[in-house]
A and B are shown apart, each in its own frame.
Chain A
Amino acid sequence: MSEAATAPRELRDSELDGPALSARLARIWGTQRSIVGWLSSVDHKVIGRRYIVTAFLFLFMGGLTAIVMRLQLAQPESKLVGPDTYNQLFTMHGSTMMFLFGVPIGEAMAVYLVPLMVGTRNIAFPRLNAFSYWVYLSGGVFLWISFLLNIGPDVGWFAYVPLSGPEYSPGKRADVWAQMITFTELSGLAVAIEIIVTVLKQRAPGMSLSRIPLFVWALFVNSFIIIFALPAVMVASTFLILDRLIGTQLFNPAEGGDALLFQHLFWFFGHPEVYIIFLPGTAFVSAIIPTFARREIFGYLALVLSLIATGFLSFGLWVHHMFTTGLPQLGAAFFTANSMLIAIPNGLQIFCWIATLWDGRPVWRTPLLFVCGFFFIFVAGGLSGIMLASVPIDTQVHDTYFVVAHFHYVLIGGNVFPLLAAIYYWFPKFTGRMLSERLGAWNFWLAFIGFNVAFFPMHISGLMGMPRRVYTYGPEMGWGDLQLVSTAGALVLFASFLVFVWNVLASLRSGAVAGPNPWGAGTLEWATASPPPPQNFDHIPVVTHREPLWAERGGLPVVTGLSIRHRELVVSSVAEAEPQLRESSPAPSIWPLIAAVTVGATFIGSIFTPYAVLWGAPPIAAALTGWFWPKNTPEDEE
């Protein structure tokens, strides 16, 4: 193996200390204060913050579409919106929540927190990270501008053929859906690879596999699910575009194609997608519970193995979305068994969390309230999920409000409640200020009550036969009262988010100053200032325990020897995190943004003409060459 050590005389962090070292590192790792600097940033915290804020904006927009739908359904034969707008509304709601909020928010939190938690200075491939954000933003803006121009997709968030095919969906609405998928999945895949490599290669010295925080484990497993699942939806949406744009016959049964093929491809992604949304929830819960139980997690190994088992099993469930399509019964039986089996690792996690709280001395702050809300709602959703795993029950309630109730219990319970817990928990780290506990309690109780009032009655509406995706219903159906209750609940849930926004805005201005570790937590992100400086840590810590800040009370052991002339970080071995390299980390660059613009223009152009791919290729190639070409910075020349 032939690696070269650099010249012996280089300015190192062992030669400075204290504020002088901090200031110098902050200058090297910082983002320039100018528009170009802002657009060129490759700091995982800057990009993570943008991701989080953008994902929340999409959550609110998706929430607003839900409110309009709830108002429409509050009474029979309402005339608030017509069928065409309603079709666009539920498609926008589902697509926004799943593709612009559900997947990105987990990755967004990972982009900000994983590098801090593993004790490194930036994410792996930071320019790819910047690129992925711009691509994600472009995809989301593209979808919403299309909606505002009345060409929003109207074929449901899963856009089944033949409805979305060339025969039944003329115009560009279905193409907008399909191309939004291309944008968001490209960015999702890029971030997943960054997280995997950051966890494998950039952990602080000593952070062996058994010392990785559970938060990081969960997002690591999640990234693996993403790289195996997301290509399926990209293949499905690409095939759909090809059928629509250049006349391929992949989904056309009249010419040897097959319509169910789309459903197979879609759900091969779509079911793991549920876990892609849920695993970040478990990550937040596993980080929050030890801090507020004031003891380390119970059953660490069982929790890690549960995450991995969930990852594998999530790929064996997709057909349970297709029980009513007439597939062979033997196949259906296998997927029923698997759908029930996955309850075991998930149940095991819940028991480990409860055991941790049981043996701890719980401190009842807002994050823990939301975690308890998560237990209640997610377990309820899990129980209706076991009901739906059974073919006879599924056949009865397929495409009814029972299913709508089930997946909102699972998704809001499994993702949004833990996410709000996470925001209350890490807001002090992100901003340096505490959120208000009083408003937090209001936020929680309004959300918890509003959610259950909105969604519990939907189980009954569904059992009474109310189908999904209907824009209205007759008074004789008898669903009106339950629907009115659901709408009232939805408004309360919406109010809880207004309280949340108020809390965030007020606390940003005048919240209590947090300090580095306001909760007395044990993981590495709390070992640095709030908000963290650009370099994250002045010295790279050495990890001796799963809760390093609880184990090393006299101050963390650290390593030295990194350059303070340019951006450099420690690359370590996969299993034991033994330091292997001092590798330079890329400096800020405008090229990822330029590359994202060329890629975005090509994607959007290809809705209209296949030649856009030919015209787009040279600018994309030029942008990527500009990105990779060395720039005479010390980082590039190392």
Chain B
Amino acid sequence: MSTVRAEPQPFEPHQARVTRDLSGLPTYGFGPKSPMWWGTLGFFVVEGMGFALALGTYLYLVQQNPHWPLAPIPPDHWAGTLNTLLLLASLWPNLITDRHAHAQDLGRVRRDLVIMSLITLATIALRLYEFTGLGVRWDQNAYGSITWVLLALHLTHLITDAGDTLVLTVLMFTRHATGKRFSDVSDNAFYWYFVVASWLPIYVAVYWIPRW
């Protein structure tokens, strides 16, 4: 291709030539077609970096201390394990919600969103209970601090998702439940995968590294 150079002849902005008509295109899409999906992915990266750095801090502190945990006994893992199982089990209704959103099946989407709202609220309740079994306070030592930080950081994501899901559930019961809102439901389901996936390494760090 030859080099393009600027010529003295000026460019005329008003001489537009129509080459294509886009009026047949849809006004919303799902998945990678939708800018919102990419925006959600961007927030995964940002929040994922936050999780990665907090986990990195945990491992760094493990390596800096001759003994770990800095507490007589490791945290009680049963509440955390139960929550992990609940989170993993929730992937199924989440997938179903996404499918029904794609199919724009309003009745089923309403039902699925109610189920997902209840699940997110249950995981928050379980998480709050998890704090009681840690056996260490946040201000006792660095082990207590980073353990509380990891659980709390993930808790903020559970709360955010619960807020999102509840608002969306209410929205889908109003007259606004049209077109693009199904794409929003799908993006909300997409976010939940991230919330579940980001929990798994935290679960291992908080409950199993102290038992290593």
Contact = CB atoms under 8 A, between A and B. Distances in A.
B144 interface: yes
Interface stretch (B21-29, B78-86, B90-98): B21-29
A581 B25 contact: yes
Contacts of B88: none
Contact of B3 (A295, A541, A568): A295
Given A2-B102, A264-B60, A561-B22, A628 B167 contact: yes
Interface string B143-176: 1111011000000000000010001000100001
A581 B29 contact: yes
A249 B145 contact: yes
Contact of A517 (B10, B33, B43, B176): B10
Given A189-B46, A201-B38, A256-B65, A579 B22 contact: yes
Interface string A308-349: 000000000000000000000000000000000000000000
A553 B26 contact: no
Contacts of B61: 250, 256-258, 261
Interface stretch (B49-57, B113-121, B122-130, B199-207): B49-57
B146 A561 contact: no
B96 to A, nearest CB: 16
A32 interface: no
Interface residues of A, number: 99
A542 B70 CA distance: 63
A4 B42 contact: no
A237 B19 CA distance: 53
B7 A555 contact: no
A176 B182 CA distance: 42
Q: Which of B6, B25, B33, B141 has its CB near the most chain A CB atoms (within 10 A)?
A: B6
B106 interface: no
Given A193-B43, A200-B38, A551-B4, A4 B26 contact: yes
Given A5-B24, A547-B4, A517 B145 contact: no
B70 A205 contact: no
Contacts of B43: 193
Contacts of A227: 42, 45-46, 49
B28 A583 contact: yes
Contacts of A550: 4-7, 11
A98 to B, nearest CB: 19
A638 interface: yes
Contacts of A194: 39
Contacts of B149: 239, 242, 248, 250
A522 B10 CA distance: 11
A135 to B, nearest CB: 15
A555 B25 contact: no
B25 A561 contact: yes
B5 A4 contact: no
B131 interface: no
Contact of B27 (A189, A193, A625, A638): A638
Contact of A202 (B32, B35, B145): B35
A574 B32 contact: yes
A196 B64 CA distance: 38
B167 A197 contact: no
A257 B142 contact: yes
Interface stretch (A60-68, A71-79, A228-236): A228-236
A486 to B, nearest CB: 38
Contacts of B25: 5, 561, 579-582
B50 A296 contact: no
A584 interface: yes
Given A558-B19, A571-B33, A197 B39 contact: yes
B73 to A, nearest CB: 16
Interface string B133-147: 000001111111110
B5 A527 contact: no
Contact of B139 (A4, A228, A248, A261): A248
Contact of A4 (B13, B27, B50, B148): B27
Nearest to A544: B19
A558 B179 CA distance: 28
A181 B133 CA distance: 33
Contacts of B29: 1, 3, 571, 580-581
Interface string A234-261: 1100010011001111101001111001
A82 B14 CA distance: 62
A510 interface: no
A562 interface: yes
Contact of A584 (B12, B27, B70, B102): B27
Nearest to A186: B46
A265 B38 CA distance: 27
Contacts of A404: none
A296 B3 contact: yes
Interface in A190-229: 192-194, 196-197, 200-202, 205, 227-228
Nearest to B63: A258
Interface string A1-31: 1111110001010100000000000000000
Contacts of B10: 517, 520
A560 B27 contact: no
A546 B6 CA distance: 13
Contacts of A551: 4
Q: Which of B23, B33, B103 has its CB near the most chain A CB atoms (within 10 A)?
A: B23
A261 B57 contact: yes
Contacts of B33: 1, 3, 571, 580-581
Contacts of B102: 1-2
B39 A125 contact: yes
Contacts of B38: 196-197, 200-201
A560 B24 CA distance: 11
Contacts of B24: 5, 561
A555 B27 contact: no
A629 interface: yes
B176 A630 contact: yes
Given A581-B27, A581-B33, A638-B179, A246 B139 contact: yes
A171 interface: no
B4 A246 contact: no
A567 to B, nearest CB: 12
Contacts of A248: 138-139, 142, 144-145, 148-149
A454 interface: no
B21 A265 contact: no
Given A555-B14, A555-B16, A255 B142 contact: yes
Contact of B18 (A1, A539, A571): A539
A570 interface: yes
A14 B27 contact: no
A189 B138 CA distance: 29
Q: Which of A12, A359, A528, A553 has its CB near the most chain B CB atoms (within 10 A)?
A: A553
A621 B140 CA distance: 32
Given A4-B27, A242-B149, A249-B145, 19 more contacts: A4-B28, A5-B25, A193-B46, A200-B38, A201-B38, A235-B54, A248-B142, A255-B70, A255-B140, A261-B64, A296-B4, A521-B6, A550-B11, A570-B22, A581-B33, A582-B26, A582-B27, A583-B34, A638-B27
5 contacts: A5-B25, A194-B39, A235-B57, A243-B145, A249-B141
Interface of B: 3-7, 9-30, 32-35, 38-39, 42-43, 45-47, 49-50, 53-54, 57, 60-61, 64-65, 70, 102-104, 138-146, 148-149, 163, 167, 171, 176, 178-180
7 shortest interchain CB distances as A-B pairs: A555-B15, A561-B23, A3-B26, A248-B145, A247-B139, A256-B142, A193-B42
